[in-house]
Amino acid sequence: MSRQPVAARLYLVRGRVQGVGYRDYAQRVATALGLTGYARNLDDGRVEVYATGAAAKLSELSGALRRGPRMADVRGVDEQEAVCRHYSNFQIEV
């Protein structure tokens, strides 16, 4: 069985995404996809999500982040390639 190459992405999510369970949602989805990284609130109201894993799984995460949890109102997601950093799981950073 060959391992898929690991990639990393940084997502900056804007809209009503703080105080609505967005970081918990991102953590649940990323963990289910086998991704590692973090989600954290930014001072400007956005949520930053950093994830590493297989490119196909990152693509699935991207779609989920654009949908967001039920109470969120996602207005946009800026996505960019990022340097791979090692995380043992997907965590919520405060």
Is 23 tagged catalytic? yes
Catalytic residue among 23, 28, 40, 67: 23
Is 40 tagged catalytic? no
Query: In this structure, which amino acid lies at residue 55?
Result: A
d(CA 15, CA 6): 29
The answer to whether 49 and 8 are in contact (CB under 8 A) is no
d(CA 77, CA 66): 6
Catalytic residue among 14, 41, 46, 70: 41
d(CA 64, CA 10): 14
Catalytic residue list? 23, 41
